[in-house]
Amino acid sequence: MPGIVMKFGGSSLKDAQRVRSVADIIEKNMKRRPFVVVSAHGGITDMLIAAARLALQGDVFGGFTNIEMRHRQIMDGLGIDHAVLAGNLRGLEELLRGISLVKELTPRTLDFVMSYGERMSSKVVAAYLKQRGLSAVAVNAYDLGFITDANFGGSRPLKDAPERIRSAVEQYEDDLVVTTGFIGKTAAGEITTVGRNGSDYSAAYFGAALGVDEIQIWTDVDGVMSADPSILPSARTIPVMSFSEASEVAYYGGQVLHPSTMTPAVEKRIPIRVLNTYHPDNPGTVIVADGDAPADAGIGS
Ligand code: ASP
Ligand code: MG
């Protein structure tokens, strides 16, 4: 079973250069048996929503073309064969065509459209890791037991999801799994999302289900800062916080983790570490269960 969850957000995957840094970071942590959760490449979810709205107005390609181009640029930058995403891009195009024909965009359909972001980024990241010699596989979260209710746009996993997740992940013992944040499926097979910025939640949920030692949230800031560094240059990283302290920061607009994101980790008392892909050696902030001693500072070890 995996030892840590490593979640990489959209800004950490926004171009080929960032994906390379992410691969460096994963490679360095292979000894800890990572389970990787990714967001869509930066900006793609917004582009998918825009594309769906354009399709609703009859324009199938207005948004699609930009999405296709961004993914091709990233694949070219990484030396990945375009075939990796050919099926997904065809599927997305057909879906947008469908929206333009039926002239209807329900929350269910929008979740389906948005799901392409994570489905494609996970494939790109896995293909690149594979190219670097790791035995990486992209597996959609819903094929790893992330089965949810049908609350489109804000779904939550069903009660038996943790069990399903454990037995599904067991099948990949020898592989480096790269899965999709943000998305799931109902038991009836319809794609859902857990809500915008929900990849952190997915990562925490997988981490709790798998009982990992640490859930790492890789972003583009040095963890939770004492103030906004763009306003106060002397702002420092807060090395350790409790879950309640972190919820207050999130509540007061700290912009790091939404409190509900942490719930699965809080219940299992699994530390969440917020790290920066631009400064991977910075230990960032570790958020620990209330009353727990600071987790051992064996950062990045
Ligand atoms: N890609 C999704 C979003 O932009 C989920 C995430 O990034 O966490 O909302
Ligand atoms: Mg995000």
- Tens digits of residue pLDDT in 82-101: 999 999 999 999 999 999 99
Q: How far apart are CA 6 and CA 172, in angstroms?
A: 16
Residue 197: HSE in the Cβ half-sphere, 13 Å Cα cutoff = 10
Q: Which residue has the tokens 């094929």?
A: 143
| DSSP result, 70-99 | HHHHHHHHHT--THHHHHHHHHHHHHHHHH
Q: How far is the CA of 179 from the centre of ligand 1 (A)?
A: 14
Pocket test for ligand 1, best of 7, 37, 38, 39 (most atoms within 8 A of CB): 39
- Measure Cα distances from 127 to 178, 183, 191, 266 in Å: 10, 20, 23, 33
Quick: pLDDT tens for 194-225. 999 999 999 999 999 999 999 999 998 888 88
Q: Which among 286, 289, 298, 242 has a CA at the least distance from the CA of 266? A: 289
Q: How far is the CA of 270 from the centre of ligand 1 (A)?
A: 23
The gap between the terminal CA atoms of the chain, to the nearest Å, is 18
Q: How confident is the model at residue 146 (pLDDT cuts 50, 70, 90)?
A: very high
List b or e across 45-63, with b for residues whose CB sees 16 or more CB atoms inside 10 angstroms.
bebbbebbbbbbeeebeeb
Q: Which of 12-21, 128-137, 281-290 has the lowest mean pLDDT?
A: 281-290
Q: Which ligand is nearest to the CA of 220?
A: 2
Quick: pLDDT tens for 225-250. 888 778 888 888 899 999 988 888 76
| Rg (the chain; Cα; Å) | 19
What the block records as the tokens of 171 is: 């099948």
Q: Which residues line ligand 1 (CB under 6 A)?
A: 9-10, 39-40, 45, 117, 181-182, 196-199
Residue 135 has pLDDT above 70, yes or no: yes
Q: How far apart are CA 165 and CA 143, in angstroms?
A: 9
Q: How far apart are CA 252 and CA 36, in angstroms?
A: 29
Pocket test for ligand 1, best of 18, 37, 146, 182 (most atoms within 8 A of CB): 182
User: Angle between the 83-102 and 44-56 helix axes, to the nearest 10 degrees?
Assistant: 40
What atom in ligand 1 is closest to the CA of residue 202? 8
Quick: pLDDT tens for 64-85. 999 999 999 999 999 999 999 9
More confident residue, 60 or 230: 60
Q: How far is the CA of 224 from the centre of ligand 1 (A)?
A: 19
* 101 burial type by CB count under 10 A (0-12 exposed, 13-18 middle, 19+ buried): exposed
Output DSSP code: residue 158.
-
